[in-house]
Structure 1
Amino acid sequence: MLLSSRTPRTAALLAAGVSVALLAAASPQSATPLGIGDRLFPHLGNPGYDVASYDISFTYSGDNSKPLSAVTKIDARATDRLDRINLDFSHGTVRSVEVDGAPARFATSDEDLIVTPGSPVLPGQPLHITVRHTSNPMPGKVDVGWLRTKDGLAMANQADAAHRVFPSNDHPSDKAFFTFRITTPKNLQAVANGLPVETKRAGATTSRVYRTAHPMATELAQVSIGRSAVLHRKGPHGLPVRDVVPAKDAKVLRPWLARTPDQIAWLEGKVGRYPFENYGLLIAEASTGFELETQTLSLFEREVFTRPEYPKWYVESIMVHELAHQWFGDSVSPRTWSDLWLNEGHATWYEALYTEEKAHAPVEKRMYNAYRASDGWRAAGGPPAAPKGPKHGEKISIFRPVVYDGSALVLYALRQEIGKDAFERLERTWVSTHRDSSATTADFVSLASQVTGRDLTGFFQAWLYGKKTPPMPGHPDWKPQPPEKQQKPQKQK
């Protein structure tokens, strides 16, 4: 995720309701919300099973204020004995639940859907769950999920909003394959992550099927419905590049979209082969306050490309930021939300490198400015790998400056410490070793030590967990600016 051009971060860069029906006989005491204990989102995710795949059907009426009819099928495997199965779900009405083809009782508590199968599920046993439900777009952002656009809908599920759209194990540590089946009025276009599999037209409706070729975290799911044009081109090695834009804006947006293949090639030169089956931009007529790295189809606000005051290099740097996430955050996902710095620090780092090469804006100058501000960022948001929790009612408030330039600063310090060659070798090894999986900060520290042949635990302990910013290797003259002397950022819009 990249916070939008209306935040203070951009100024610095430019200068340098649960409504689930209770249809079960289970008692209220049996409906207990669970979680896997994530430090930032303790009630997110569910223990006891591992999801292999989701098969999700949506039927859209053409009115983005009305609920969509939906069916979510989950194939999983139990890792513990399960007398009850917890799913994350809210903002919809559950009509029925089946487990292994048999009707199951269900109840709700907080943002959990609690399912009671006819008999306990034993460890190692396959688990097939079918939930028939509605999927309700909510007015305003409401921590998002379904995002209402001018002509339809899109998804914005980071950090914990996928379960506002479909029942799931909504945590990036449990990645799975996805199939989306989307039925819309025939005059609308529907797209989703992955590759198109099938299109069927019947009377006044069109049904389309999309399937991912790689596992995906729930927060990266994307379905867009609207009056869209789908534009195709080829990327490196014949990679399919598919962009989805408002049909009326296709001509004006094409020059921006034409830059994507070269950006992919540039990043491949830094970290290795693009990790997925296709890529493209989804440009939506909506005001989100951020851009988002939904897997294979990154979400952008239309105004990023249409506001004349944005320099070309700046727009391209945003494109590269979200593209870099396909390696860092999507292919290699965070095991916990405290590992977010691995996503945003890397995306910001490659954004900065790209800007240095294409717009002659030195990385060293940007990192010097980040170093001066780093103590203030740590005081406000916590250290990079131990960030403070979100503000009440503002889940995306975990996306603070310390996880962007503050975390890119850690990578710069690491490159200063171990040298450019070792750093680049580490980066390539990281994305190849952990491709299609999730990984932790400890995994990164361990790999860095392995690649360099030296114990870097102390270095990372200071840079990732220290309340104060350590001395910068190679720059003994750099001094942090005391937080009390730093200009207070304006409130984000």
Structure 2
Amino acid sequence: MKEKGLLIALFVLIISTAQCQQPGNLARYTQPGVDVLNYAFSLTLSDSTNQIKGETTIRFTRADDRQTVWFDLIASKVDSTQGMKVRSVSLADGKAAPFNQRNDRVFINLPPAPNQPTEVVIRYDGTPARGLIISRNKFGERTFFGDNWPNNARNYLPVVDHPSDKATCSFSVNAPATYRVIANGKLLNESNLPNGRKLTRWQENTPIPTKVMVIGAAQFAVEEVGSVSGVPVQSWLYPNDSQKGFIDYRPAKEILQYFIDKIGPYSYEKLANVESTTVFGGMENASCIFYNEKVIVGHKDSDVEALLAHEIAHQWFGNSATESDWSQLWLSEGFATYFSGLYLEHAYGKDTLNAVLNQNKGQIFRYSALKPKGTIVDSTTTNLMDLLNPNSYQKGGWVLHMLRNEIGDEAFWKGIRAYYATYRNRNAQSSDFQAVMETASGKKLGQFFQQWLYQPGYPELVWGSSYDATKKSLVIDVRQAQRSGALFVVPLTFSIRGSNGREITRTARLTMTEQTQTFTVPLATKPGSVAIDPDNTVLMHATEMGK
């Protein structure tokens, strides 16, 4: 996901350390033992009102003999015209099921059926406060777009609105015939209805989290870009933007090929890139990515490619291999941030990746100054939107960059492919990713992940060097000066350069484990200059004494 008006090179912030997810967080949002298998959503949209009508069939299992289950659905309030009112709940045989709508949930009483599939049908109507954005686009045309992150699907869909409960889904959308409707998965059919209306049916056969189960309805021009490994690639643009937008979205085919080659098979029936009128600059909805209508330039542009790559990377990380809880958001956003950079490295070279890393480094430094106790894995945040910050995005991406350099390219890509293969269409936590990378590299990585995911800040080094002519050695003094007081294990490499600025040699990898350390490097002649971390492999702020 990218925020509104945001490209990979420009992050605009909308706005105590915990190594494992707090049980209270899961208890607040989930029902242990209840597993949704499939949602069949039927929605009726109108041009005369923002009210929608819905009928959702939910198939799920219960691991025990519980007789009450609930589904999230924001209810209408006495003092508001927004919210959903449940009209009835029935079982698969048509019999009514007792229900109660309270605390923005629908509680349903059922006969016990442990480990057996149960189906309920919930009929409701109302005006969504969030989740389904009903508005007008920049051309004044009425549009409908799902905008579910983090848990806004519950504003218009009855669901277990947590990333850990993934399910297959289908959408049947009854709308005025002037609209084209996009949703997850494969288009089953479109059929004309009386009174100038149309029914559009989509089906997603791969389990996905509710945050990326969406519809979009608008006037669209559609281009078939081609296919990659049998996956059709499409561009959906507002007709007035189509000439420019088709150019902007065409790199998606090459990006898709790159990620399939590097990570593994694509999980969904299509890749549709869709112009939209929503909150975010990009939202990685499974198989139908929504991009903000303002991001249209009409020519080849590396920033637009970076945005496409970020959202397409989410199809692997976030949608398919999904974080088990919002506290693990870096497994989605950190991955998409870095893999977007990796695609740019592939397309434009290493200097482009370095430019992105340096841009991201500055954003991390500024955010850390505002939130000095913030950590990447954050189970304490109660406002989930606050997780959309540089710790989840840029710092998470930097962790992957440092890991790549810690274990080497071969082990890194081996681990990435193994992680995706293991957790494809499943959920994962940071500890799961760590375990896979340890197996791939043959190295213990506990200390690495502990300091970067659960410890605030980053190393702030003050360093200097002097040449000892008698001993023919270079003496390098380094001090960790971060105010948090927490120490980092920092891998260091120094570039030794002549008077002309060209590199003569490099030190071997030096490991800093103390607050203050001195390294002595044999060197025949006095260097013209010394540079720290020449390959930009460590997230740190380094100040050379006397400079």
Q: Deviations over 1:48-105 (max 9, x none)?
A: 3111100010111224x52111100000111122221111111211000113432122
Residues of 2 paired with 1:366 and 1:256: CA distance?
Answer: 20
Q: What residue number does 1:305 align with?
A: 296
Residues of 2 paired with 1:232 and 1:262: CA distance?
Answer: 14
Q: TM-score under structure 1 normalisation?
A: 0.84
SS in 2 for 1:303: coil
Q: What residue number does 1:349 align with?
A: 338
Q: What residue number does 2:417 align with?
A: 428
Q: What residue number does 2:42 align with?
A: 57
- Is 1:414 the counterpart of 2:414 in the alignment? no
Q: 1:91-490 to 2 correspondence within 5 Å?
A: 91-101=83-93, 102-117=95-110, 119=111, 121-138=112-129, 142=130, 144-150=131-137, 151-203=142-194, 204-284=196-276, 286=277, 288-306=279-297, 312-360=301-349, 361-368=351-358, 370-371=360-361, 374=364, 377-378=367-368, 379=371, 382-386=374-378, 388-391=380-383, 395-469=384-458, 470-475=488-493, 477=532, 480-481=540-541
Residues of 2 paired with 1:342 and 1:84: CA distance?
Answer: 33
Q: In 2 relative to 1, CA 12–56 (structure 1 residues): closer, same or farther, beyond 3 Å?
A: closer
372-381 or 47-56, which deviates more? 372-381
Contact persistence 2:321–2:423 (CA under 8 A) = yes
Residues of 1 paired with 2:297 and 2:382: CA distance?
Answer: 32
Percent identity for Structure 1 against Structure 2: 23
CA RMSD of aligned residues (A): 2.7
Q: What residue number does 1:19 align with?
A: none
Q: In 2 relative to 1, CA 317–368 (structure 1 residues): closer, same or farther, beyond 3 Å?
A: closer
Query: Structure 2 regions of 5+ residues with no counterpart?
Result: 14-20, 75-82, 459-487, 494-509, 511-531, 534-538, 543-547
Q: In 2 relative to 1, CA 87–242 (structure 1 residues): closer, same or farther, beyond 3 Å?
A: same
Q: What residue number does 2:60 align with?
A: 76
Q: In 2 relative to 1, CA 371–255 (structure 1 residues): closer, same or farther, beyond 3 Å?
A: closer
Q: 1:9-28 to 2 correspondence within 5 Å?
A: 10=10
SS in 1 for 2:84: coil
Q: What residue number does 2:505 align with?
A: none
Contact persistence 1:158–1:219 (CA under 8 A) = yes
Q: What residue number does 1:16 align with?
A: none
Aligned residue pair count: 447
- Code of the residue aligned with 2:428 in structure 1: it is A
Q: In 2 relative to 1, CA 414–447 (structure 1 residues): closer, same or farther, beyond 3 Å?
A: same
Q: In 2 relative to 1, CA 449–188 (structure 1 residues): closer, same or farther, beyond 3 Å?
A: same
Shift of 1:447: 0.7
Shift of 1:254: 1.3
Q: Deviations over 1:186-239 (max 9, x none)?
A: 222112111111222122211111101211111101101111223223222232
Q: Deviations over 1:277-314 (max 9, x none)?
A: 21011101x25243100000111011111499xx8101
Contact persistence 1:38–1:336 (CA under 8 A) = no
Q: What residue number does 2:5 align with?
A: 5
Residues of 2 paired with 1:457 and 1:399: CA distance?
Answer: 25
- Code of the residue aligned with 2:5 in structure 1: it is S
Of the three residues 51, 71, 85, the one matched with 1:67 is 51
Whichever structure has more strand as a proportion of its residues is 2
Q: In 2 relative to 1, CA 149–297 (structure 1 residues): closer, same or farther, beyond 3 Å?
A: farther
Contact persistence 1:387–1:398 (CA under 8 A) = no
- Code of the residue aligned with 1:74 in structure 2: it is I
Shift of 1:107: 1.6
- Code of the residue aligned with 1:178 in structure 2: it is C
147-156 or 338-347, which deviates more? 147-156
Residues of 1 paired with 2:224 and 2:298: CA distance?
Answer: 24
Whichever structure has more helix as a proportion of its residues is 1
SS in 1 for 2:205: coil
Shift of 1:146: 3.5
Residues of 2 paired with 1:411 and 1:6: CA distance?
Answer: 21
SS in 2 for 1:273: coil
Contact persistence 1:179–1:209 (CA under 8 A) = yes
Shift of 1:472: 4.5
Q: TM-score under structure 2 normalisation?
A: 0.76
Which structure is larger by alpha-carbon Rg, 1 or 2? 2
91-100 or 313-322, which deviates more? 91-100
SS in 2 for 1:124: coil
